[in-house]
Structure 1
């Protein structure tokens, strides 16, 4: 509950503090006195946006602070998740600086606006005439059904499974899209791969072929070179080998007389053997070399194929072409393997769908049990509020596919007249009927969960007389379990408050200021008398005010 509200430097408010009753708080005041300004300030601590226009004094900061008793709201987990200090008496504070900077605090710990809003909405529910539009909102209606049915656990289980289902469905869609895209490229990949595969490329093949082509195109020169070497080394007319052999024999004859001769003889023998080996190898190579035009053409053709593939694929060497071929092979295998992967993902999705269908059916069953409870409670409250011919029906249908909240669609159908078929609330309900409907629905919720502080902003618009008296009774009953701050212009409803506050304007130093005060018993009688008969007090209006308070 909201125990205390402090506001400074906000719009027409210089500074005020209000201590609220834990039950029914009545707030009254003339039109334009500033009731909406107080609501606007309160909106700041539930995360509403603000700008410099809210500052009364432009050189000073605006502060709005709410002190809440939160021990009955099971909020410790929220405080732990957001790394905040928990206290049964929690303070939410919002500051707007002259520079336009917004700062938010929970128990003096700085927080972002989202965190402040998340907590604020758990503590305060501001209901105005504009909120009546929610009655026609299907999400609002379904949330109401879930609250009354106590479907929270089943809904959370459904949502958890729904997230798995959606995740798998997205993965399947992405897989199919990728498969389709790559399938379109498959022919191109296959053509490139076939070309490279048919080429049967080998690493270092280009270098080897280029060397072979050099030999083949210079075969005659090579053969002549080797033959010349053989002739020079072992020609009949002049043989280098024979001369070395003769030199070795000459040294052999004198080696017994001079030690150095033996060494030279040995070296000449080695030279002779090496020259003989060179001559033999050159002769063998010369015999192997032949001019082969057919092989030259074959090598040229092979090299031209390699050069063409290098240019086409912008590759530096044959190794890069082989790597590209392997990559294409992998891509082709992946494309052709998508079918199995897609089938596997489809089976996974079908499994999630089956479980989700079961959870959706369980959720529907829980919700359906709440329909007669809602219908009965709303009708009874509205009959008390002067709508004796009221008909209220919860219409149910199932969607063809899963939704984020299940497969259920609900619609609240309403008729104020016995001869009119129930229809959507937004189509046929008047403003006054809307207000009464919303009160009946809020009243229904009070027994289904711990409600935050509810602020009714002239929910009694469009009603009067006996209906107003009955609305006051319902609101009073409602406040026995939920703190209510009720802004009203009807004396019949204002009189039911446990505490009565009046919002007023005053002139101070040529400035208009909005303030609020809790009324004493006598002040309250005067305020109600003015609401009954106008500013001029009479015995009749004072008597009427006393009677209202006595009821």
Structure 2
């Protein structure tokens, strides 16, 4: 419930603070005194858009602050979801700066307007003749039925299962799309993969392959060169080794005369050994190498295949081709396994669908049981509100598609006349009838649901006499279970209040300001008497006012 409202620099209000209590609070005042200003200011702390035009003094900021006692509202989870500090005495503040910027706070924590709106919906429900359009919406009508059916917990379970069903369904749709695309690419990927596999890339050492090709491709020239080298090294008449051996023999004659000659002998001897080894390798290479056109063709084909694959895939190393081969293998394997995954997911989707449908049917069963009770209660309330022939028909029809509140569509039909044709409520009910229906619905809901503070803004317009008395009794009855505020012009309703506040304007120094005053019992007699007979008080009006208050 709201416990206080502080308003500074807003419209005709300079600075006021209003305290509120449990029960029924009546707010009265002449037309234009500023009752709507109070609602406008309250709307700002509920998240309504701000306008610089509402500022009384453009040089100062406008501050609206409301305090709520929410210990019984079970809003801890809502505060946690919006990352707010929970306090049983919660303060909601809105500031409008001269620059036009707006700031919002909940318990001194900055919040967005969206967060403020979400919280505001749980704190206050403002109902006026203009707000009856919500009654015409199927969503609101279904909420009323569900409140009587006690479907709150079941709807939470339903929505949880519905989320799971939608998640699985979305995953399945995405996977099927991927499979369709994969099937288009499968032949191409398989061809590329097989082409790389057939190349036997793992067995290829590119440098060795290129070297082998060069040897085979130039075998005759290599053999010719090796023969000449061998001859140069080992010719008995002029070979290098022969010449060095002769030099070695000559040095052997003087090697013992000096260490210098010994060193020369050793060096020549080492050279002979090295050249003999070279000669041996040359002869071995010459023996191994042969002109082999068939082998050359095979190596050449393998190199051409390798270069073609490298060019095709835009790489230059065998290792890169092997990596591409591995990736293609994964795609081919994935394409073959995706059907199994889809089958598994289809089972999950169907299981979730059946579970969601089962819960939706449980919800509908409870709705069907609650509808006759709601119909009876609403028609009983409307009987006292001057609509003795009002009748409702609630048509609940299950649909194939799942909605956020189940799988049923609700149509609320109404007639205000005996024997009259039923029609959709929003099309056949007048504005006055809609106001009374909404009051009846709110009254019924207080029996089944904890409602936030309820503010009735002149919904009694066009009502008088016994119907006004009945409206007052309904509001008074509701206020025993919740906080109710009623802005009214009817003395019958004003007299039922536990508290009474009067809004009025005053001219001070050529400036008009709005004020609000808590009325005493004597003040209430005068206020209600004026509501009955006008500004000129008569004895009969005062007597009537006292009678109403008693």
TM-score for both structures, normalised by structure 2: 0.91
Counterparts of residues 498-513 of structure 1 (less than 5 Å): 498-513=498-513
State the Cα distance separating 1:416 from its structure 2 match.
0.9
- Residues 100-151 of structure 1: CA distance to partner in whole angstroms, max 9, x if unpaired? 3333333444444444333332221111122211112121122222222222
Which piece of structure 1 moves more, 326-335 or 103-112?
A: 103-112
CA distance in 2, matches of 1:354, 1:331: 34
**Alignment partner of 1:130: what SS?**
helix
State the Cα distance separating 1:70 from its structure 2 match.
2.7
Q: CA separation of 1:24/1:214 partners in 2, compared to 1, >3 Å: closer, same or farther?
A: same
State the Cα distance separating 1:28 from its structure 2 match.
2.1
**Alignment partner of 1:3: what SS?**
strand
8 Å CA contact 1:435–1:461 kept in 2: the answer is no
8 Å CA contact 1:414–1:425 kept in 2: the answer is yes
State the Cα RMSD in Å. 2.8
State the Cα distance separating 1:321 from its structure 2 match.
2.0
Q: CA separation of 1:85/1:296 partners in 2, compared to 1, >3 Å: closer, same or farther?
A: closer
Corresponding residue number in structure 1 for 2:545: 545
CA distance in 2, matches of 1:402, 1:82: 28
- Residues 388-424 of structure 1: CA distance to partner in whole angstroms, max 9, x if unpaired? 1111232212121322222233332221112124332
State the Cα distance separating 1:381 from its structure 2 match.
0.3
Counterparts of residues 213-252 of structure 1 (less than 5 Å): 213-246=213-246
8 Å CA contact 2:12–2:512 kept in 1: the answer is yes
Where structure 1 has 5 or more consecutive residues not aligned to the other structure, the ranges are none
CA distance in 1, matches of 2:283, 2:330: 51
State the Cα distance separating 1:542 from its structure 2 match.
4.0
8 Å CA contact 2:236–2:242 kept in 1: the answer is no
8 Å CA contact 1:95–1:102 kept in 2: the answer is yes
Q: CA separation of 1:323/1:372 partners in 2, compared to 1, >3 Å: closer, same or farther?
A: same
Question: How many residue pairs end up in the alignment?
Answer: 550
Counterparts of residues 394-543 of structure 1 (less than 5 Å): 394-543=394-543
Where structure 2 has 5 or more consecutive residues not aligned to the other structure, the ranges are none
8 Å CA contact 1:431–1:461 kept in 2: the answer is no
CA distance in 2, matches of 1:88, 1:294: 94
Which piece of structure 1 moves more, 263-272 or 524-533?
A: 263-272
State the Cα distance separating 1:302 from its structure 2 match.
3.4
State the Cα distance separating 1:443 from its structure 2 match.
0.3
Q: CA separation of 1:279/1:51 partners in 2, compared to 1, >3 Å: closer, same or farther?
A: same
Corresponding residue number in structure 2 for 1:383: 383
CA distance in 2, matches of 1:351, 1:40: 50
CA distance in 2, matches of 1:229, 1:251: 26
Corresponding residue number in structure 1 for 2:53: 53
CA distance in 2, matches of 1:141, 1:519: 38
State the Cα distance separating 1:431 from its structure 2 match.
0.5
CA distance in 2, matches of 1:297, 1:350: 61
Corresponding residue number in structure 2 for 1:20: 20
Corresponding residue number in structure 2 for 1:334: 334
8 Å CA contact 1:203–1:318 kept in 2: the answer is no
CA distance in 2, matches of 1:257, 1:5: 125
Corresponding residue number in structure 2 for 1:201: 201
- Residues 414-470 of structure 1: CA distance to partner in whole angstroms, max 9, x if unpaired? 211121243321011110110010001000111212222100011123433322222
**Alignment partner of 2:191: what SS?**
helix
